[in-house]
Amino acid sequence: MSAPKLAKVIDIHALKNACSNCSLREMCLPTGLSADEIEKLDQMVYTRKRVKRGDSVYRSEEKFGSLYAVRSGFFKTTLVMEDGRDQVTGFHMAGDMLGMDGIGADQHSCNAVALEDSEVCVIPYGRLEELSREIYVLQQHFHKVMSREIVREHGVMLLLGSMRAEERLAAFLLNLSQRFTSRGYSPSEFNLRMTREEIGSYLGLKLETVSRTFSKFQEDGLIGVQQKFIRILDSDGLKSVLGRDPS
């Protein structure tokens, strides 16, 4: 069998120590690994894949074979509803893992689409399972990643089931702020990679409601909005919208 085209484009030798030298290592991998264990992980990530804006890493019902660690860029995951509409189920940035939806049924249940030119590290799942048996802390870490995904899904269910529009958008912006902070970016100034319509799909709100709520937050001095650029001016105020104690 001939090597994948991607392997001809990217210098495999340049990928050596990809994990050990990656700035996102702490988000993808457990701490406390030996040099030997890190070397095995470096060999596990056998290629990187560039994904152009609008292209998919995988699509619903495709056979599952790998997980994808987002190295750069931004993705959305979507489900196709019975009426043909796309329902956004999540937004994923550098340091996140894509593809876990395919583990149970051995095929993907959703689409993973790049919202901007992006890059992922391809992690063959069979190799990850092998290494997890050899490296116990890797197994523990992977279980934690899966647990975080379950918690995230529960959080979305809470958003859709019990919160008003203002609460949903405030929670969304605060969550983005926290995620950018954990990656070393500004917690108060960032560009939204997704459209207002995609935000509405994710939060269960109409486009008009999303736009109106953004305007209200701006009028109240909670945020500044310039097209897709967001500046959080009053994070305590956003927390108050959720009924949280700002302290």
pLDDT tens per residue, range 26-69: 566 666 666 777 777 766 666 889 999 999 999 999 999 999 98
Pairing of strands 66-72, 223-226: unpaired
pLDDT digits over 196-209, tens only?
A: 999 999 999 999 99
> Do 9 and 130 belong to one domain?
yes
Both 24 and 131 in one domain: the answer is yes
Whether residue 131 sits in one domain with residue 169: no
Tell me, yes or no, whether 45 and 84 share the same domain. Answer: yes
- What's the whole-number mean pLDDT along residues 142-159? 75
Domain-embedded: residue 68: yes
pTM above 0.85, yes or no: no
The reply to whether 144 falls in a domain is: no
Same domain, 132 and 169: no
Q: Which of 121, 114, 100 is nearest to 21 (CA)?
A: 121
CB 229 within 8 A of CB 191: yes
Give the structural domain span for 207: 163-241
